[in-house]
């Protein structure tokens, strides 16, 4: 799985890839031979991350983009295609979390979380799907959460976004499988990252970004006759 040519010739686009899970996924797929396109909203942090990937011998394109905006999504995919080639692997990782009693959340909180965690996946996936259909191949991997399978106090807006993401992922998988395109959800528990809003109870017992990257690598190296629709990841020890 870690061989340098397992994904040779493939192009992987990862959203929210300037840090945390997205950066770990970009690094893992790049070390497996993929040409990497990364995006994030913060240009400075994105450029720093691209430099780190480049220093590891990874071919990388960095494009600042707000993936909740249709025009910027189209521009991102167009630049990726022009510089690297058509997208073979899309990892929808961009996400945020806002937590607290649902009655205290304002409409802007709802819009921000749902747009980032759900709308962006719709926009990004739609943008690459037509070309994947024409080529009869492709992987779309949505980074969800165990919060898309469970509920908890103070998580209403976040859980709503991730439950919605699970529904979207399942429908996409059913519609695209006939075209040779595999759509999967990765659902980690608490991960030790700078994720906004809520941190792991005990970072020493939390999942690491590389744990999620390992799952993504496994998904994109499956035999062609099957696909894993969902991966749930939990730490060995409860936080």
Single out the residue of 112, 128, 89, 95 nearest to residue 10, CA to CA. Answer: 89
Domain for residue 238, yes or no?
Answer: no
| pLDDT at residue 1 in the model | 42
Give me the phi and psi of 61, to 5 degrees please: -120, 125
Number of domains in the chain: 1
Catalytic residue among 13, 67, 95, 158: 158
Domain for residue 5, yes or no?
Answer: no
pTM: 0.94
Looking at residue 224, which CATH number applies to its domain?
A: 3.40.50.720
> 211 to each of 21, 61, 187, how far by Cα in Å?
9, 24, 11
Mean pLDDT, the chain, whole residue set: 94
Of the listed ranges 118-127, 142-151, 229-238, the least confidently predicted one is 229-238
Residue 202 structural domain: 11-233
Answer yes or no: is pLDDT of 206 > 90: no
3 belongs to the catalytic site:
no
């Amino acid at each position: 799985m870690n061989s340098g040519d397992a994904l040779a010739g493939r192009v992987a686009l990862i959203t929210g890839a300037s840090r945390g899970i997205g950066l770990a996924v970009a690094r893992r797929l790049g070390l497996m031979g993929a040409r990497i396109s990364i995006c994030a909203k913060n240009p400075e942090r994105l450029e720093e991350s691209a430099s780190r990937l480049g220093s590891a011998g990874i071919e990388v394109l960095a494009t600042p983009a707000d993936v909740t905006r249709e025009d910027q999504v189209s521009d991102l995919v167009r630049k990726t295609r022009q510089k690297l080639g058509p997208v073979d692997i899309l990892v929808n990782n961009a996400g945020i979390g806002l937590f607290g009693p649902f009655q205290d959340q304002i409409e802007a909180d709802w819009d921000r979380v749902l747009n980032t965690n759900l709308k962006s996946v719709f926009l990004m996936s739609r943008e690459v799907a037509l070309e994947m259909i024409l080529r009869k191949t492709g992987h779309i991997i949505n980074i969800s959460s165990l919060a898309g399978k469970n509920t908890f106090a103070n998580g209403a807006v976040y859980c709503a976004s991730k439950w919605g993401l699970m529904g979207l992922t399942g429908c996409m998988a059913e519609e695209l499988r006939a075209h040779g395109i595999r759509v999967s959800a990765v659902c980690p528990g608490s991960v030790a990252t700078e994720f906004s809003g809520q941190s792991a109870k005990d970072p020493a017992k939390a999942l690491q970004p590389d744990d999620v990257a390992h799952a993504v690598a496994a998904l994109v190296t499956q035999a062609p006759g099957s696909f894993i629709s969902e991966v749930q990841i939990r730490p060995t020890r409860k936080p």
